[in-house]
Amino acid sequence: MTIKPFENDIITKLENVFTSWERAENFSGIISIVDNSGIQFEKVQGDRNRAEKLPNNRDTAFATASGTKLFTAAAACKLIDQSKLSLDSKICDILPYELKNIDRETTILNLLTHTSGIAGCFDYDTAEEADEYYRKHASHLLLKNEDYLPLFINKPAEFKPGEQMDYSNSNFILLALVIEAITKTEFADFIKENILAPLGMERTGFFALNDLPANTAIGYYYDPRKAQLFANYYRTPIIGAGDGGIYTTADDLKLFWRGLFGCKLFSKDMLEQMIAPKFVFNDIEGHIGLGVFVSEENGERYYWHDGYDNGVNFCTAYFPKSECVLAIMANVNVPIGKIQDKVIATICR
Range 8-83+183-347: architecture per CATH: 3-Layer(aba) Sandwich (3.40)
DSSP 20-69: H-TTGGG--EEEEEEETTEEEEEEEESEEETTTTEEP-TT-BEE-GGGGH
pLDDT value of residue 318: 98
pLDDT value of residue 1: 38
Cβ atoms of 331 and 311 within 8 Å: the answer is yes
pLDDT value of residue 6: 67
Instruction: Give whole-number Cα distances, 66 to 26, 63, 83, 314, 315, in Å.
Output: 22, 9, 27, 8, 9
- Tens-digit pLDDT profile for residues 245-290: 999 999 999 999 999 999 999 999 999 999 999 988 766 678 999 9
Residue segments in the chain with a per-residue pLDDT below the cut of 50? 1-3
- Tens-digit pLDDT profile for residues 27-40: 999 999 999 889 99
Cβ atoms of 288 and 281 within 8 Å: the answer is yes
pTM: 0.95
